[in-house]
């Protein structure tokens, strides 16, 4: 966006009273300490997040208008660069066509330039790319920057599982909150009502600033002091969604699907509390918990592709179906199921989590899709 246009937008900005759960009016009107926001990621959800954020940075005086969105550069079939197309049309024509992002969103293929001078970093890329992205940013960000992760997934290392928020903090040396919830991106893009949960560690003021950045009348955000609980809910629900998709593909009916969702929620809670005893039971009743599980098992991409996998009897790989059905978007459930399986195997927990174990064994071709309803015959410990 041209500097002149941004200046014109700034002159038109209205003074707004923030939602009562966010920063005080004193800090909102403090134009000498405006926060600058950068979004690292520009897929379907990254583009929607940029739209939400841009509507608030333009409206609230506590933020710089401009939101830079890092784009992994691609060349469209027309020959035009994706970044150029986004900046020309104000739409992500590949991953979110038909939705205006806001004139203050600027697509940038240069990662370092995207984060320059930003003190609020929003990470929203497939989790398998996060370690490489963070390593590229070492020494390139402000020392006082705060991060928030919208990324579902975990890294499994020799020393054990590492959540993406922890990965960001460890590599970049900054605090990282998380945002998860019942958030199918295409529905939020057209401003259908939705909720989300911010998980934070210690600083409530930081959490409130993230709430302020994302909150709109159609996107309600609340904060809870439970980073690991919120993040694991957002991560593990994709594994359960695969199971729900297998059930749909085999036409087993709603009763079976409901049973799978209930058992999945039980394993989500048990796994989370074994890894992190500090995880709160109440977190599973936030938007990031049961609500996200329900919507993902009813309408998410993991469920959709798993249904196709089951209909084909497992004869077509997830990689093949992903390429055919998702137009460049990435599944998270299959890789997360593998990572969870590695943790379970390493710690001797496989028999405690038969649903999680079976989902991986089906998605990797070791078992047929019909095994999803056979796992319950195994001995299971009650939690």
Tens of pLDDT, residue by residue over 133-145, are 999 999 999 999 9
pLDDT at 377: 47
pLDDT given at position 195: 97
Start-end ranges of CATH 1.10.1040.10 in the chain?
Answer: 230-371
70 labelled ligand-binding? no
pLDDT of residue 156: 77
Query: CATH number of the domain at 230-371, out of 1.10.1040.10, 1.20.1250.20, 3.30.70.20, 1.10.760.10?
Result: 1.10.1040.10
302 marked as binding residue: yes
Q: Is 45 annotated as a binding residue?
A: yes
Identify the band that residue 375 occupies on the pLDDT scale cut at 50, 70 and 90.
low
Which CATH number is 35-225's, of 3.40.30.10, 3.40.50.620, 3.40.50.720, 3.40.640.10? Answer: 3.40.50.720
Catalytic site positions: 237
How does residue 273 score in pLDDT terms, banded at 50, 70 and 90? very high
Annotated binding residue 301: yes
DSSP sequence for 155-193: EEETTEEEEHHHHHHHHH-S-EEEEE-S--HHHHHTT--
Q: Can you tell me whether residue 274 is helix, strand or coil?
A: helix
Work out the percent of the chain whose per-residue pLDDT is above 90.
81
Helical pair 292-299 and 301-311, crossing angle rounded to 10 deg: 40
pLDDT bracket for residue 374 (50, 70, 90): confident
CATH 3.40.50.720 domain residues, the chain = 35-225
Please report the pLDDT score of residue 381 as a whole number: 42
Instruction: Let me know: does 179 contact 197? Beta carbons within 8 Å.
Output: yes
Q: Residue 159's pLDDT is what?
A: 67
Q: What is the pLDDT of residue 328?
A: 76
Mean pLDDT (whole number) for 329-348? 90
Predicted confidence (pLDDT) per residue in 48-72, tens digit: 999 999 999 999 999 999 999 999 9
How much is the pTM? 0.86
């Amino acid at each position: 966006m041209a500097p002149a246009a941004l200046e014109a937008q700034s002159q038109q900005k209205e003074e707004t009273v923030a939602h009562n759960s966010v920063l005080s009016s004193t800090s909102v009107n403090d134009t000498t300490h405006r926060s600058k926001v950068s979004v690292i990621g520009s897929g379907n959800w990254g583009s929607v997040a940029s739209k939400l954020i841009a509507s608030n940075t333009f409206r609230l005086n506590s933020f710089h208008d401009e939101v830079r969105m890092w784009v992994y550069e691609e060349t469209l079939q027309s020959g035009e660069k994706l970044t150029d197309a986004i900046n020309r049309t104000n739409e992500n024509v590949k991953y979110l066509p038909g939705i205006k992002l806001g004139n203050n969103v600027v697509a940038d293929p240069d990662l370092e330039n995207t984060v320059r001078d930003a003190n609020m970093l929003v990470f929203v890329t497939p989790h398998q790319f996060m370690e490489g992205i963070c390593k590229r940013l070492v020494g390139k960000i402000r020392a006082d920057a705060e991060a928030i992760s919208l990324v579902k997934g975990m890294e499994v290392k020799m020393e054990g599982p590492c959540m993406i928020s922890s990965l960001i903090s460890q590599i970049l040396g900054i605090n990282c909150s998380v945002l998860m919830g019942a958030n199918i991106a295409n529905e939020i893009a057209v401003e259908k009502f939705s909720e989300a949960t911010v998980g934070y560690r210690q600083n409530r003021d930081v959490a409130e600033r993230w709430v302020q950045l994302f909150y709109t009348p159609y996107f309600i955000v609340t904060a809870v002091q439970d980073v690991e609980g919120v993040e694991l809910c957002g991560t593990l629900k994709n594994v359960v969604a695969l199971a729900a998709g297998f059930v749909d593909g085999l036409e087993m009916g709603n009763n079976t699907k409901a049973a799978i969702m209930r058992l999945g929620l039980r394993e989500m809670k048990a796994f989370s509390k074994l890894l992190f005893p500090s995880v709160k039971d109440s977190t599973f009743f936030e938007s990031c918990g049961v609500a996200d599980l329900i919507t993902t098992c009813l309408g998410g991409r993991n469920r959709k592709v798993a249904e196709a996998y089951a209909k084909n009897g497992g004869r077509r790989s997830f990689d093949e179906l992903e390429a055919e059905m998702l137009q460049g978007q990435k599944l998270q459930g299959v890789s997360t199921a593998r990572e969870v399986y590695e943790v379970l195997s390493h710690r001797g927990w496989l028999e405690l989590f038969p649903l999680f174990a079976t989902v991986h064994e089906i998605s990797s071709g070791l078992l047929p899709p019909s095994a999803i309803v056979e796992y319950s015959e195994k001995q299971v410990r009650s939690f």
